[in-house]
Amino acid sequence: MSLSKILDEINQQKEIAQQDLNVISPKALPYKKGQVNSAKQKLENLYVDYKNEVLKSAVFILVTGNESEKFASIAEEKFKCFSVDGKVMFKDILNKVNPQLYKNKKINSFVFEVFGNILEEKMKALDVRAYNQLIFDTKYSRVVKDENEMLDVVALAVTDIVGSEVVGLDALERVTQKAVNKNYKSKIVPILVHSQDEEFIVSITEGLKRLNPKVVRVSAGATQTDLKTKISLEEVDEKNVEETLKTIALNAQGEKA
């Protein structure tokens, strides 16, 4: 089904699921409870259907450079795109750990075990049932001074061991929630994953392509390395962002820009 048809079904089932059972007569209450429970189950299934359709319709736009956040902000606020911080998943994991565990200390297997347990909860939430466990390796052994350095280690280890696809799956979950709330029905779903960490953006590219081959890298503003991106903007403004998004949309539709 298309996003539009799935949303119509979602809205219908929402009306049933949100019925106020307190105003239902005792005689009709068992029947109405059955209706509500059935609608809630259907909503769960429809949400999965919608998320799968979002993935099929998605174009992952990976944005890096010193103005990547500005590009993503304009795209989301002005042009109905969906924007996700590329490292937000790892930040969420890091926020659940006491910094005293790693701050100014050398990373070891115990630290990885703690992060691995939190990652397991995250993977369950993403409905990922099988994945490579986060196992310590000496290449991750280093002294970290603060949260930013630990964030880099967590991002590196998870994308290296588990696979960079997880970044796309997390972005997909976040975008699907936003899209349902916005009643989003367009045939193309532009998902911007942004980070000023150029190496990180490059490293997740192939993993996202395994989820959906429509992946485009964009350099927004100055970069520290030559990323050889097809789209490179020296300056970021509303006009440039709009033109870039139009080009990407046309290519996604199989047309020549």
pLDDT in tens, 85-127: 999 999 999 999 999 999 999 999 999 999 999 999 999 999 9
* Nearest-angstrom CA–CA distance, 226 and 65: 11
State residue 174's pLDDT score. 97
pLDDT higher than 80, residue 229: no
Which numeric CATH code is attached to 54-252?
3.40.50
* Nearest-angstrom CA–CA distance, 230 and 60: 14
Phi and psi angles of residue 28, each rounded to the nearest 5 degrees, phi first? -90, -10
What average pLDDT does this structure show over 169-191?
Answer: 95
- pTM of this prediction? 0.91
Query: By the 8 A CB rule, do 145 and 103 touch?
Result: yes
Per-residue pLDDT band for 254 (boundaries 50, 70, 90) equals low
Q: Which of 185, 152, 189 is nearest to 171 (CA)?
A: 189
